Amino acid sequence: MPLHMNANTLTSPTNAGRLPCLALVLMLLPALASAQTTPKTYSTEFTTVENPISEGGAWGEGGLKTGLDWTNVRTNGSIAHGTQTGSDGYDDSIALLTGFGPDYRIDAVVHFVGSRSSSTDSHEVELILRGSYGPRVQRIYECNLGYSGSSGWYAQIILLNGSIGTFESIGDTVAAVPNVRDGDVFSAEIRGNVINTYLNGVKLKTATNSVLTTGQPGIGFFWRGTEQITDFGFKSLTVTELGAAGPRRPNPPTNVQAR
């Protein structure tokens, strides 16, 4: 069957108009594919004043809101921090985002204006991976960065899968963690069953665990009450879903002083 061609169309006597539509679909396919593979991201600088944190509904389940036995994360307009009393055991302050797949990376800028001495007890900031809650049930991977008077700075990867106070350390042994400074970047990522944490782009800990296969990213805090609860928190946060190759890790900050 003869084809009639000009600069703009390609038709046949019996299929006039169909091939231009097909050509349009073929032109749009790369854009559609790109839209489908663009990783979900969420960034915040905690500019609202909220207890518990919501940011327009971006944050869903939480330690007190859903889990009942834990506590809220709050924001004061510049940082996110915990709300523990310091005397109620392992009732960490936890908040989870919504709508993420199982693999992602979290990068958080640390707020630290406290001081560690022999008289200070534990204070931690936490990045949460694959988190979910039911009434009095917590299912999360907790990646923490903390300090105490007795042991200095430390980092852990912990599986919490049950009622309050139920936890298991799953990370490898880490060398001494360098002194954390205000503005440092604490990061955690999970892909498949492998978890890694970083401080200013330098790996801290690795864990391999297959218990939790789905769940949301989030933040948390633990405080024993020996200094101000707002001394240690997060200034900002970015969460990015990981694709087949994952995003490039951000460069370490250039203003970090030598330790």
pLDDT at residue 33 tops 80? no
- 22 assigned to some structural domain: no
* Within a domain: 237: yes
Overall domain count for the chain: 1
The answer to whether residue 251 is domain-embedded is no
CATH number of domain containing 104: 2.60.120.560
| Domain-located, residue 102 | yes
- 143-201 pLDDT, tens per residue? 999 998 777 899 999 999 999 999 999 988 776 798 999 999 999 999 999 999 999 99
Q: pLDDT of 201-257, one tens digit each?
A: 999 999 999 999 999 999 999 998 778 999 999 999 999 999 854 444 554 554 444
Q: What is the pLDDT of residues 63-102, one digit of tens each?
A: 888 889 999 999 999 999 999 988 878 999 999 999 999 9
Closest of 59, 45, 71 to residue 237, by C-alpha: 45
- How many Cα atoms within 13 Å fall on the side-chain side of residue 144? 25
- Tell me the residue range of the domain where 70 lies: 39-241
Q: Residue 119 falls within a domain, yes or no?
A: yes
Residues 95-140: tens digit of each pLDDT? 999 999 999 999 999 999 987 766 678 899 999 999 999 999 999 9
In-domain check, residue 74 = yes
pLDDT at 28: 60
pTM above 0.85, yes or no: no
Say how many C-beta atoms besides its own lie within 10 A of residue 193's C-beta.
12
**Kindly report the CA angle at 189 between 183 and 191, in degrees rounded to 5?**
170
Answer whether residue 6 is part of any domain: no
